[in-house]
Amino acid sequence: MFVDSHCHLSFPEFAPQLPQIRQAMADAKVDGALCICTTLEEFEEVHALAMRYDNFWASAGVHPDNEGVTEPTVQKLLELAARPKVLGIGETGLDYYQMEERKGGRSIADLEWQRERFRTHIRAAHRCRKPLIIHTRAASADTIAILKEEGEDGSADSVGGVFHCFTETAEVARAALDLGFHISFSGIITFKNAADLREVARFVPESRLLIETDSPYLAPVPYRGKTNNPSYVPYVAQQIAELRGLSVERVGELTSGNFEALFRPERS
């Protein structure tokens, strides 16, 4: 019924818990999960999860905020994207959040390496024709601009993808939708201080909605502050259902269908 479109199950804290997590997913009617790669160094572990379980899939990419890791090339991303059960390119994008505090006083101008890394992912996605998994935080204008510059304009030549764990404004959502992207919501929409985000979740077209956990982060209410996992994604669906006057089963059906249409998952 439900699919977690974005999670990080390769993180060390999950290794001994996978049997319990998978049972919890089954109990919660969570039928699948896309395991996201954030560095080339972790790709093999992420991919192994996808190959081990028929309802797990993988992505290939380097998170925009990761430094001191192997830099991706278009060719390397294409090699990884060609592996079985790799559904998308990313997560990729831009992250300018709290620049001075987190980046040792550097300015946005100093983050050209992030922008070039982003362009590399977009070019690889165009070559392999797989969707982009976009992370954007405090960088929406540059994210949209670079997508357009690299040919992501919503035309038949675009690959599209998803703006994951969406936390931006309605205007940014409209811009992403205009480029042909889906919008994915996480447990953040269940937080008390997320009223504006809930309004965004209310207006995104049914055909562009996705749900996710981004686990181990951002556990939804009533588990906020605890370690998140894919079995909690129905709580995101429940919030969307309440916002839109739908049954949670209908939201599960819609978002799972959207996941299938966007990523075309294969099962081992």
pLDDT score recorded for residue 107 = 83
Which amino acid makes up residue 65? D
Assigned token pair, 181: 């992207």
- 226: in domain: no
Is 1 inside a domain boundary? no
Please state the three-class secondary structure of the chain as a single string. CEEEEEECCCCHHHHHHHHHHHHHHHHCCEEEEEECCCCCCCHHHHHHHHHHCCCEEEEECCCCCCCCCCCCCHHHHHHHHCCCCEEEEEEEEEECCCHHHHCCCCCHHHHHHHHHHHHHHHHHHHHHCCCEEEEEECCHHHHHHHHHHCCCCCCCCCCCEEECCCCCCHHHHHHHHHCCCEEEECHHHHCCCCHHHHHHHHHCCHHHEEECCCCCCCCCCCCCCCCCCHHHHHHHHHHHHHHHCCCHHHHHHHHHHHHHHHHCCCCC
pLDDT at position 14 is 87
Task: Write down the pLDDT at residue 266.
Answer: 82
Residue 87 lies in a domain: yes
Query: Do the domain assignments include residue 109?
Result: yes
pLDDT of the chain along its 268 residues, tens only? 999 999 999 988 888 999 999 999 999 999 999 999 999 999 999 999 999 999 999 999 999 999 999 999 999 999 999 999 999 999 999 999 866 555 566 788 889 999 999 999 999 999 999 999 999 999 999 999 999 999 999 999 999 999 999 999 999 999 999 999 999 999 999 999 999 999 999 999 999 999 999 999 999 999 999 999 999 999 999 999 999 999 999 999 999 999 999 999 986 6
In a domain, 19, yes or no: yes
Residue 238: inside a domain: yes
Q: What is the CATH number of the domain that holds 102?
A: 3.20.20.140
Domain count, the chain: 1
Is 134 within the bounds of a domain? yes
Determine the Cα–Cα distance for residues 112 and 37; give it in Å rounded to an integer: 22
Residue span of the structural domain in which 122 resides? 9-32+41-213+232-263
Determine, yes or no, domain membership for 99: yes
